[in-house]
Amino acid sequence: MSVFNKAGHYLLSNAFSAAIPFVLLPILTRKMSLNDYGEFSVFQSLITGFGALVGLNTVGAAARKYYDDVIFGHLVRYNSSCFAILILSLIFLYIVISLLSGVITRKELFDNSLLMIALFISFFNYVLLFRLSQFQIREQSNKYFHYQLIKGGSLFIIVLLFLELFDASVRTVVMAFFTSAAIVAFISMLSLFRSGLIKINSFSIADSVDAIKFGLPLVPHVLGVFLLSYIDRIVIATSLGNEKAAIYMLGVQLSLGVCCFFDALNKALLPWFYRALKLNDPDKNRLIVKHTYKALFMISIVALFLFFVSPTFITIVAGEKYESARDLIGWLFVGQCYVGCYMLFTNYLFFNKKTGVLSVITFLTGLMHLLFVSYAVNNYDLNMVAKIFCISMFVRFIMTALLANRIHPMPWKLSLNE
């Protein structure tokens, strides 16, 4: 199967998976109150925050190990060691939350039970991501597509079923997401065992240490992503209330569609990209550079188009009560396009195992974003928060591109006739 056919599979599967929350969006925004939808947006942020800690990002370590030309038995032991890390991190976080629940919860935003549910959903998401990554590195795009169908389809059906059987409260929607994630994680775990990719009695301290060395430096990176992409909702909810958070969340949810498109292409091209870099061939390197320039140009066109067109989506998708999101949606779309630009360069750092320096960039820009968002929420409006998001994503993109070229120099000075 050609790289373009694989890209089509990844694009279609990711598009379907991303489309389910989008399809659910007009249902949830019309059935839930602004306050409840805002609280739900904070809950989703908690899932992402725990995702930075559950498993310590060892999904990427297992995927990177595949390209080290080791025997299959070693890969199984390495994968199993990653799951041991997953279990231990879950237990540790559960104990910490239990001990500090009175300190780290705010009753008006969420309670302790929602924290625990968010933690376990992060655990379930790790299992699915591990299964998907193993399909990806083996270029099994058909199976990747099927599992994304299962994920999206189960979420859609279970949310509709719960809304029909129960009221449209935050807890109803949260339990629907929990149930769906648990089912998909169970199927993914069975698949991993049946494929022989993990075994209960296979474990290695040395492999665990190696996986942690890869994943642990990424914790600040994922926390930085959390600060860049999710903390603004918590800040808004804390300072302005859940209703304002709901307005902002709607804009973010709509803009994520374009980010999912870029992510699908990145997943499809990643195996080819790693193989090309491993060859260290001048012709291949020039080809990568040419494709990168073309991608940057196309992303710029998409960003410009969405900035002017996206405000027309708001009332059609969510209804009149979300009308005020029109002022910020364009900036959020442009910010997501900068995420696409960032993806073009971050893989150089993963290939060279320079996850620590990537973490520094992301965490620093995340802290910068948090400081400016906190100031904007108290002194300006949501439109300014969206502009700050756009600027922060641009800064991260530029810093990552400069660092990637320093660590893995490429022939960026192409002549016009190339």
Q: How far apart are CA 320 and CA 385, in angstroms?
A: 22
Q: How far apart are CA 140 and CA 6, in angstroms?
A: 9
Q: What is the pTM of this model?
A: 0.83
Mark whether 97 and 168 lie in a shared domain: yes
Mark whether 412 and 356 lie in a shared domain: yes
Query: Given this model, what pLDDT does residue 226 score?
Result: 87
Query: Given this model, what pLDDT does residue 137 score?
Result: 86
Q: How far apart are CA 240 and CA 12, in angstroms?
A: 38
Residues 116-137 pLDDT 10s: 999 999 999 999 999 999 998 8
Residue where one domain finishes, among candidates 216, 237, 255: 216
Query: Given this model, what pLDDT does residue 123 score?
Result: 97
Length of the chain: 418
Average pLDDT of the chain, as a whole number: 88
For 271, the token pair is: 């195996």
pLDDT tier, 92 (very low <50, low <70, confident <90, very high otherwise): very high
Query: Given this model, what pLDDT does residue 42 score?
Result: 86
Query: Given this model, what pLDDT does residue 177 score?
Result: 97
Question: Can you give the three-state secondary structure of the chain, one letter per residue?
Answer: CCHHHHHHHHHHHHHHHHHHHHHHHHHHHHHCCHHHHHHHHHHHHHHHHHHCCHHHHHHHHHHHHHHHCCCHHHHHHHHHHHHHHHHHHHHHHHHHHHHHHHHHCCCCCCCHHHHHHHHHHHHHHHHHHHHHHHHHHCCCHHHHHHHHHHHHHHHHHHHHHHHHHCCCCHHHHHHHHHHHHHHHHHHHHHHHHHCCCCCCCCCCHHHHHHHHHHHCCHHHHHHHHHHHHCHHHHHHHHHHCHHHHHHHHHHHHHHHHHHHHHHHHHHHHHHHHHHHHHHCCHHHHHHHHHHHHHHHHHHHHHHHHHHHHHHHHHHHHHCHHHHHHHHHHHHHHHHHHHHHHHHHHHHHHHHCCCHHHHHHHHHHHHHHHHHHHHHHHHHCCHHHHHHHHHHHHHHHHHHHHHHHHHHCCCCCCCCCCC
The answer to whether 268 touches 132, Cβ cutoff 8 Å, is: no
Residues 30-84 pLDDT 10s: 899 988 998 898 898 889 889 889 999 899 899 988 888 778 999 999 999 999 9
Mark whether 108 and 11 lie in a shared domain: yes
- The answer on pLDDT for 415 being more than 60 is no
Q: How far apart are CA 359 and CA 361, in angstroms?
A: 5
The answer to whether 370 touches 231, Cβ cutoff 8 Å, is: yes
Residues 283-300 pLDDT 10s: 888 888 998 899 899 999
Query: Given this model, what pLDDT does residue 18 score?
Result: 73
- The answer on pLDDT for 106 being more than 70 is no
For 128, the token pair is: 């699915």
- The answer on pLDDT for 344 being more than 70 is yes
CA-based nearest residue to 23, from 179, 155, 212, 198? 155
The answer to whether 113 touches 100, Cβ cutoff 8 Å, is: no
Mark whether 211 and 221 lie in a shared domain: no
Mark whether 251 and 113 lie in a shared domain: no
Query: Given this model, what pLDDT does residue 389 score?
Result: 95
The answer to whether 286 touches 414, Cβ cutoff 8 Å, is: yes
Query: Given this model, what pLDDT does residue 185 score?
Result: 98
Q: What mean pLDDT do residues 135-163 have?
A: 92
Mark whether 190 and 254 lie in a shared domain: no
Domain that holds residue 92: 1-216
Query: Given this model, what pLDDT does residue 6 score?
Result: 62
Query: Given this model, what pLDDT does residue 376 score?
Result: 93
- The answer on pLDDT for 108 being more than 60 is no
Mark whether 189 and 241 lie in a shared domain: no
Q: How far apart are CA 123 and CA 185, in angstroms?
A: 9
Mark whether 30 and 101 lie in a shared domain: yes
Query: Given this model, what pLDDT does residue 241 score?
Result: 87
Query: Given this model, what pLDDT does residue 134 score?
Result: 94
Mark whether 142 and 226 lie in a shared domain: no
Mark whether 120 and 233 lie in a shared domain: no
Residues 213-241 pLDDT 10s: 888 877 888 888 888 888 888 899 888 88
The answer to whether 286 touches 33, Cβ cutoff 8 Å, is: no
Residues 385-407 pLDDT 10s: 999 999 999 999 999 999 999 98
Residue where one domain finishes, among candidates 194, 216, 238: 216
End-to-end CA distance of the chain: 28
**Cα–Cα separations (whole angstroms), residue 169 to 33, 160, 164, 165:** 8, 13, 12, 12
Residue 332's region, left for phi above 0, alpha for psi from -120 to 50, else beta, is alpha
Q: What mean pLDDT do residues 132-154 have?
A: 90
Q: Name the domain count of the chain.
A: 2
Query: Given this model, what pLDDT does residue 278 score?
Result: 83
- The answer on pLDDT for 3 being more than 60 is no
What residue type is 127 in one-letter code?
V
Residue where one domain finishes, among candidates 156, 190, 216: 216
- The answer on pLDDT for 102 being more than 70 is no
Mark whether 115 and 190 lie in a shared domain: yes
Mark whether 172 and 229 lie in a shared domain: no
